[in-house]
Structure 1
Amino acid sequence: MRSEVRRLRAGASAVAALLLAGLAPAAQGQPIPPPYPPVSRHAGTLTVPLNKSQVVNVDRLIAKALIGNDDIADVLPINERSVYVLGKKVGTTSLTLIDGAGRVLSIMDVAVGPDVDALSGQLRMLVPGEDIKAGVSNDAIVLTGLVNDPGAIDRAVQLARTYAGDKVVNLIGVGSSQQVMLEVRFAEVNRSSGFDIGVSGFTNGNTFSSATGKGASLVPGEPSTVVTTVGGTTVTSTVPSGGILQLSSITGAFGIFRNRFSIGSLSIDAVLNALETKGLSKTLAQPTLLALSGQKASFLAGGEFPVPVVQGAGAGATAGGNGAAITVEFKPFGVGLAFTPTVLGDKTINLLVEPEVSAIDPSASYTVGNISIPGLRTRRASTTLELRDGESFAIAGLISKDFQTTVNQVPLLGSIPILGSLFRSNAFKKGETELLIVVTPHLVSPLTEDQVHLPTDAIADPTGLESTLLGTSGRKRDLPVGPGLGSAKPAEALAKSPSEPARKEPSYAY
């Protein structure tokens, strides 16, 4: 039995050897293909502009191309090794490529977004000379880079919004902060004129007392005394028994006595008052402000006055609401200025200027309880303008006119035609104010320590010998060697453009 098993095994081995020997030539005629190289399952991110396409090429045969979300992108075969990806909607999805054996060739992310290549070309055309880059993050455009002109940032953002709407992230910085010094001159001219004319009457006795005229009051007696207010000034004069009133007794007024009228024991005298006033006042403020480009700076030369404000029912309030908490707020007045500069290209400065001049006006006051709160007379302007470095611009036409007339008369008698002028007094007052504002911007930069010379730098403390023997309180010394404040170089001439010849900027020191 065992010998038969051995013979069968030996025969099977011989048959297997013959089969292998016969298949060897066939194997040599048809070589077995090498195994596939390992596949990178994630091939990165494919960026596809909206409504545009990208072509994906691989070195293997593609049997299937699958897109994760066909609402965002479509994929179409071009040949056995290339596919066509079309962006349909802003968003992200994935693309998977599979070969004929069902193996994954590649997996890549597909990001459909705005066309940043076209945007970059527009930026180079419309914002030349600035380093601005455009990229895509999810569905937003991201702007990065560094610019010298802050105005280029606004232009770049506005251009990017035409591609992505409000989904624009601005990460652009300014290479160097530009500072603007604004010199403002406020010139206010106040012209006023007044004219008072009338007749004042008084008595030389104790039985009758009456008067006409602006602010006149009488004190009967012998000799008579007149208290008259002329042009806001109260003067007291003693009238002699008759004849001419001494002009030196009433400052700023002109008076002539007519003959005394006597009715029994009653004597009546009359004074003709005539006063003409003219005044001219000028207010000048010249503030200087400094601000960074795009930042706001303000100035106020004046003061503040308190205004009581009712804050509702306080602790002492009753059911009828008689108690209230009162706080105090301070309202500013005076000469004020606020401005916001923006430095544009070619040394042009865009200015938002808001000047204001206000003064307390007692005639516009109102009373709350026993408290009189004055009003404000305000003149305010707001304007936007563009100037070159060192140029000036004037804002004028802020004119205010006032006219007042006052008539004082004896009842009934003052209304009589022609003769009534002897029993009344007229006062006229006219005022006119005009405000002129001159604005001059400068581009400035900080100075080094050796460029700043104070007035006290030229004075040295005296020595003990100089102070004791010579009696000097100080001596002059040489300033340190340096450029100083007044040695700033004039601005260089601007480059000549095809439409405008080059010109020389005005020189200035700061």
Structure 2
Amino acid sequence: MTSIRVFENAFAGQVRKIAVTAVLLGLAAGIGRTQSAEDLRITVGKSIVIDYPGDIRQISTSDPTIVDASPVTTREILMSGKGLGSATMVVWSKADQRMFYNVTVELNLEPLRRILQDTFPDEKIDLHSSRDSITLNGTVSNKDIADRAVALSATFAKTVVNNLTVASPIEKQILLRVKFAELDRSKAQQFGVNFASTGALHTIGTISTGQFNSGSVSSNAGSSTLSVTDALNIFAFRPDLNIATFIKDLETNNVLQILAEPNLVTTNGKEANFLVGGEFPVPILQGVGAAGAVTIQFKEFGIRLLFTPIMTANKTIKLALRQEVSTIDFANAVTLQGFVIPALSTRRAETNVELTEGQTFVVAGLMDNRETTALTKLPVISSIPVLGSLFKSKIENKNNTELVMLVTPEVTEALGANDPKPQPYFPQEFLKRMGPEDVPAAKSKAKTKK
């Protein structure tokens, strides 16, 4: 058996032991005078001590500039890596037996490996050396890190092979939670609905469009005089304010009706749109005169929302928002060649706002005022002058509503390739096994028996 002990050259040629003994197959008794070659790998600046199975007579190396070998005792050989490359070492014993060693001297990668690990602790970079070259393998998060890793490696070797892969960045996604609501202005004034009155610690401000005169907000939110119906404003709420409870209370009192609750997701800087409604046909006359053909074109109506989010360096979200609510209006319909073409009653608002994640803002002031008259009468009798007025009635209704939109943006990220997949979660109480003593009926029966 041939054993090898590893050492490292210190300053001024001193030898320091750095590893434990490693075992190699050696020359066995009864086998011929020449043993097959053994492969050894050492690094530049390190030394190994080989325990030879017999008494050493002579040692020779093919390139002393790469490998230096000398006997230490009659059965120990000190071999040192001098330069990069490969060489062959031959050892003769006094029993006239030969042993060949194919020695490869490589770069010492441990210092570079420690530097890369300290500099880029979150990256996975593997190092391999081949003579005077270093190969970098693995995946890094961006190109800048790959370039810096190559630059650091170039100080240790003449040639650096860059096999690093730059991972594709995971784009941030913006989730927009939207509530379209229609507010009864008459009931809102009756109940004293005030979006600006949110508590002394949550006093907010408004941004008026100038379309209507804005109210005033005092420092004491309880005495605020601004109502949601006073102006077309943008109301910004703090994330810790429970707006959902306030909206639910308005729904319970029939002051507010939720029209739609879409959740829209898009990547940074990309537009997303939402439409709930339908399309109605509109005849379009092609050509001039009676010879012109009539084609049908469909127009969209309903609730539409378009938004484009942009993440800023300050981790805020800029939103370019457009909302629109359109309904078919037969009261203003027109007739064209026997076709009744209804009009569209549209309420639209466009705004740009910047806010933090989880903050809710409200766009209000899209008002719709309608007056309807319902006439009820008895046939024939109601047409009699003077007397006929007793047999007919007219009811006038005034409907004053306002469209309100509440928007809450949130930032989401897609799962990476190595991220754990979320698993269904059930509370422990849900899976708890119940015994007969846990059932109220069983408890009452047990007490009766006692």
Q: What TM-score, normalized to structure 1? A: 0.33
Bigger Rg, which one = 1
Q: What TM-score, normalized to structure 2? A: 0.37
